[in-house]
Amino acid sequence: MSGAAAPSLARPIDHCVLPTADLATARGRFEALGFTVAPEGRHPFGTVNCCVYFSDDTFLEPLAIGDRAAIEKAIIDGNVFIMRDCAVRDARGEDTFSALVMGTSDAAADHRCFEEAGISAGQMLSFSRPFEDASGKRDKASFKLAFAAGEPGSAFFFTCQRVNAPKVDRAGLQNHANGVTGIARVVLVANDVPAHRDLITQVTRAHEIEDFVGGTDFKTANGLVCLLDPSGMKAMLGLAPKNGTGLDLAAIVFRVCSLEKVEERLANAGIAPMRHAGWLVVEPAPGQGAIFAFEAAE
Say whether pLDDT at 5 is over 70. Answer: no
Question: Which carries the bigger pLDDT value, residue 134 or residue 197?
Answer: 197
- Examine the fold and report which residue of 139, 173, 207 is the final residue of a domain before the chain moves on: 173
pTM of the model: 0.93
Please tell me the distance from the alpha carbon of residue 158 to that of residue 55, in angstroms, as a whole number: 22
Q: For the segment 12-37, what is each residue's pLDDT rounded down to a tens digit? A: 999 999 999 999 999 999 999 999 99
Q: For the segment 35-81, what is each residue's pLDDT rounded down to a tens digit? A: 999 999 899 999 999 999 999 999 999 999 999 999 999 999 999 99
Flag whether 87 is in a domain: yes
Cβ distance 269 to 35 under 8 Å? no
Flag whether 2 is in a domain: no
Q: What is the CATH number of the domain that holds 271?
A: 3.10.180.10
Please tell me the distance from the alpha carbon of residue 240 to that of residue 138, in angstroms, as a whole number: 42
Question: Tell me, what's the pLDDT at 2?
Answer: 36
Flag whether 4 is in a domain: no
Flag whether 1 is in a domain: no
Tell me the average pLDDT of the chain. Answer: 92
Residues 128 and 24 reside in one and the same domain: yes
Question: Tell me, what's the pLDDT at 168?
Answer: 66
Say whether pLDDT at 4 is over 70. Answer: no
Q: For the segment 251-282, what is each residue's pLDDT rounded down to a tens digit? A: 999 999 899 999 999 999 999 999 999 999 99
Measured CA to CA in angstroms, residue 291 lies from 7, 259, 280, 283 at distances of 34, 17, 11, 5
Confidence of residue 135 (pLDDT cuts 50, 70, 90): low
- Examine the fold and report which residue of 141, 173, 205 is the final residue of a domain before the chain moves on: 173
Tell me the residue range of the domain where 53 lies: 13-173
Question: Tell me, what's the pLDDT at 142?
Answer: 86
Cβ distance 11 to 200 under 8 Å? no
Flag whether 201 is in a domain: yes
Question: Tell me, what's the pLDDT at 6?
Answer: 43
Please tell me the distance from the alpha carbon of residue 251 to that of residue 285, in angstroms, as a whole number: 13
Q: For the segment 69-123, what is each residue's pLDDT rounded down to a tens digit? A: 999 999 999 999 999 999 999 999 999 999 999 999 999 999 999 999 999 999 9
Flag whether 8 is in a domain: no
Q: For the segment 202-213, what is each residue's pLDDT rounded down to a tens digit? A: 999 999 999 999
Residues 22 and 131 reside in one and the same domain: yes
Strand runs labelled E in 81-223: 99-104, 125-132, 138-149, 156-164, 180-189, 209-212, 215-219
- Examine the fold and report which residue of 117, 147, 173 is the final residue of a domain before the chain moves on: 173
DSSP letter at 238?
A: S
Flag whether 5 is in a domain: no
Q: What is the mean pLDDT of residues 237-243?
A: 87
Flag whether 132 is in a domain: yes
